[in-house]
Chain A
Amino acid sequence: MPRPALRPAARAVRTAVPVALSLAAALALTGCADKPTATAGSTAAGGAGGPITVSATDTACTLSATTARAGTVTFQVTNSGTKVNEFYLYAEGDRIVSEVENITPGLSRELKVEITEPGTFTTSCKPGMVGDGIRGAFTVTGTAAKGSADSKVAKAIADYKAFVASEADEFVDATEEFVAAVKAGDVAKAKSLYAEARHPWEAIEPVAESFGDLDPKIDGREDVIADGMAFTGYHRLEKDLWKDGLQKDSSAIADQLLADVTEIAAKSKTVEPTALSIAGGAKALLDEVATGKITGEEERYSHTDLWDFDGNLEGSRQALDVLRPVILERDPALQQALDADFKELSSLLAKHKTGADYVRYTALTEADIKELTVSLDALSEQVSKVPGVVEAT
């Protein structure tokens, strides 16, 4: 069970908090010792109007126009100062729409920006690379045609819902079998079914775990369940099977587990994901591996952590796979990196398989754990870039 903070489905999609400088603050900026000034002519330029020239010095940032029509807007930035300069176009909240850096003294560089919606933006030259820079307002009018990614996003969402539904059904079926073995008192059979039964859960955890107490009831570990809650579910039965032996109430715990799993599976199918929540879930699954599986904390009695690792990894891979057409359109290099890093980590994990089963976590050496961690770090850094790529839907 993860920390609550890792649950993207439970987290409201947040709109950017506006932190743009007020006009008063912007004016105050010009009061600095070296009096930076942002000035511009009043003519509009745009996709067809030729480039907007930006004359940057150590103390000024002068644009030939401060308005443009939506479409491709081109800035030609010339640094006639003495410091290395940068030019930024910000949306609300200092979110970078585009930037060009490392404009050394005397150099001129071009920045092309695709803007499809009208709005107010902020331009900034940043002599010396530090601080908020010398700012000015920039207005875009009209609209321009967007890429084809929108329809791809709709398909990705449908695909992901189908994946979740299929994993949810599998989870119920596998839990049924496991519960039957527990109730029959067949410890050996129950132990053999345990890890595989949990696998579909580990693949869709970010979606499924958003329903109140069901997650801790099904998957809570003894040390992390909330005060006043009983220790139930998979990990309670894990403890019975591997450590304490079946107890008088094991059968009742098993019945309750099946009821809870059935309920959560049904609810999971009703979740309406977004591209952003799918991408966030893919990242959250890898965070799960980093904080619970690769450390051997999740399965403290059965030591079947590598099964959970496999489930999380598979769930993350599947989630990103439905987003593939969107990522390919917007950032093909990222998709290439994702493919390479998923392949690498999967092959490292597969090294610890004997036949169809994974070795116990306790059989891993320190070097094995480091190797997996290094590869997981590499993959996670790439996966953390996906929300930013799919966000504009």
Chain B
Amino acid sequence: MSDDGLSRRRLLGASGTAAVAGVVAGAGTAYAVSRGDDVSATGASTSTTTPALALDAAIPFRGEHQAGIVTPAQDRLHFVALDVVTKDREQLRQLLEDWTRAAERMTAGAEAAPGGLVGGGPNRAPEDTGEAYGLPASGLTITIGYGPSLFDDRFGLAPKRPAALQDLPAFTGDQLDPRRTGGDLCIQACANDPQVAVHAVRNLVRIGFGVVAVRWSQLGFGRTSSTSTAQATPRNMFGFKDGTNNVKAEEPEGLAQHVWVAPDDETGGGAWMAGGSYLVARRIRMHIEVWDRTSLQEQEDIIGRDKKEGAPLGQAKEFDTLDFAKKGPDGQPAIPVHAHVRLAHESQLGGIRILRRGYNFTDGSDGVGHLDAGLFFLAYMRDPEKQFVPMQRALAKADVLNEYIEHNGSAVFACPPGLKDGQHWGQALFA
């Protein structure tokens, strides 16, 4: 409401545009991520080859692919899985249109509806809940996905079901809680300010009352993966760098091969998924108290990397190539045969890779004095049956890490491709 707020937002918006140009052009180039202090520098950085992406910036909502997948992973997450509660197909279609409008507005840093803060006057409930008013866009991305159950007989969507969208099979050791599993739809809201991410989900859920209801939700407080070479590799709750070998935004061939659904992948009713990606979500509780009592040597042997540098065992630097044949001083493999990095490595899995985009979480405590903490695993891929399933089977069978973790939530979603100007989410499904 103040001129101060206006000038601040205008300034950020203007430089955000400049920063965002780096993303659009950035398929093959690197870009650094920096705090808002660098905003002014960003606008003037045309001469450098590494344009910075300010953490305050607005990420374009529309494009070939949905934002929030190869977008450099933001710091914060609010993820929500929803069930459709209406029986009316038209209501669902309308909601997807309404959500598109609100999502596009919020990712630009605007209220969920025009004048949402006070524009309705004193007697109406404000259309926007207000907690993000005056905050910058903060890199907000809103990514939508559709679960297998959406394509049952309720809305006539069965013919539109992509062949690759199947419920995940049961894995050895799964301890899935039905209250953290499945969902007809999902919304992944990522931002560099948790208030902005929560605001986005809260307002979309509110718009959806009567049409959808929240099935489960998850907050993530810190990213555990890098999706760009310009990002430093973060650490997970075991204290290890996670996602070093991730598929990254700067590898177009890798993305085409492992992340984006190709036009030939779905030729029937699921052809709308071309340019989309499948999302696997797993809530992985970590028994961190037990882990913390484990010796450094054992921790490193379980993971297969050294704790400080993140280098593969037997190597010196984080990004050194993993050498599974190399022997340690004791004559045993430097990277033990059941180490996590060995089992999960593409060389052991016929070349399979996925784009991981997970978040650390701590949902308070469990009532017996332990933190309910862990990794909310999010991964994007071209075909879960060919990628996540064999990878998780291999890990579930032999990973020593299983003694310290428990998968207690699970879901899979088909995330459609990006929207062109004028399109909304309901169109491809209800065409």
Contacts and interface: CB of A to CB of B under 8 A. Distances in A.
Nearest to B7: A32
A14 B122 contact: yes
A59 to B, nearest CB: 10
A48 interface: no
B119 A131 contact: no
Nearest to B136: A130
Contacts of B11: 33
A29 interface: yes
B124 interface: yes
B114 interface: yes
Contact of A101 (B114, B123, B206, B209): B114
A158 to B, nearest CB: 22
A23 interface: no
B150 interface: no
A86 interface: yes
Interface stretch (A180-188, A265-273, A378-386): A378-386
B114 A387 contact: no
Contact of A131 (B9, B105, B206): B9
A132 B6 contact: yes
A307 interface: no
A223 interface: no
A119 interface: no
B118 interface: yes
A96 B213 contact: no
Nearest to B421: A104
B168 to A, nearest CB: 24
Contact of B1 (A19, A337, A370, A374): A19
B3 A28 contact: yes
A323 to B, nearest CB: 13
Contacts of A377: 209-210, 213
Contacts of B105: 129
Given A102-B101, A129-B108, A129-B110, A387 B13 contact: no
Nearest to B88: A340
Nearest to B87: A344
Contacts of A387: 123-124
Contacts of B9: 130-131
Given A34-B10, A96-B119, A96-B120, A378 B209 contact: yes
Given A32-B6, A381-B209, A94 B118 contact: yes
Given A131-B10, A132-B1, A391 B421 contact: no
B114 A86 contact: yes
A15 B10 contact: no
A276 B114 contact: no
A374 B205 CA distance: 11
Interface in A87-134: 88, 90-91, 93-96, 99, 101-102, 104, 128-133
B378 to A, nearest CB: 26
A130 B109 contact: yes
Nearest to B16: A128
B162 to A, nearest CB: 28
A388 interface: yes
B359 to A, nearest CB: 26
A32 B4 CA distance: 10
A89 B124 CA distance: 17
B206 A388 contact: no
Given A96-B114, A377-B210, A381-B209, A130 B125 contact: no
Contacts of A132: 1-3, 5-6
B42 to A, nearest CB: 15
Contacts, number: 115
Given A94-B118, A129-B105, A33 B123 contact: no
Interface string A16-37: 1101010001001100111000
B183 to A, nearest CB: 14
B145 to A, nearest CB: 21
B115 interface: yes
Contacts of A16: 121-122
Contacts of B121: 16, 91, 93, 95-96, 388, 391
A276 B123 contact: yes
A209 interface: no
Interface core residue of B108, B109, B124 (most chain A CB under 10 Å): B124
Given A16-B121, A32-B6, A388-B124, A130 B210 contact: no
A341 interface: yes
A93 B1 CA distance: 10
B163 interface: no
A29 B114 contact: no
A104 B421 CA distance: 9
A32 B10 contact: yes
Nearest to A129: B110
Interface string B86-119: 0000000000000001000100111000110011
Interface string A356-390: 00000000000000100011011111101101100
Interface string A248-292: 000000000000000000000000000010000000000000000
Contacts of B2: 25, 132
A105 to B, nearest CB: 10
Contacts of B14: 33-34
A99 B108 contact: no
Contacts of A379: 210
Given A130-B108, A132-B1, A378 B122 contact: no
Interface in A332-358: 337, 341
A25 B115 contact: no
A102 B114 CA distance: 10
B85 interface: yes
B115 A99 contact: yes
Nearest to A33: B11
Nearest to B120: A388
A25 B3 contact: yes
Contacts of A128: 10, 13, 108, 110
Interface in A34-92: 34, 84, 86, 88, 90-91
8 contacts: A21-B3, A29-B6, A88-B115, A128-B110, A131-B10, A132-B5, A385-B125, A387-B123
List the 4 shortest-distance A-B pairs measured between CB atoms, nearest first: A378-B210, A388-B124, A96-B119, A95-B121
Given A93-B121, A380-B209, 15 more contacts: A14-B122, A29-B6, A33-B11, A90-B115, A91-B121, A95-B118, A128-B13, A128-B108, A130-B108, A130-B109, A131-B10, A374-B213, A375-B85, A384-B125, A388-B120
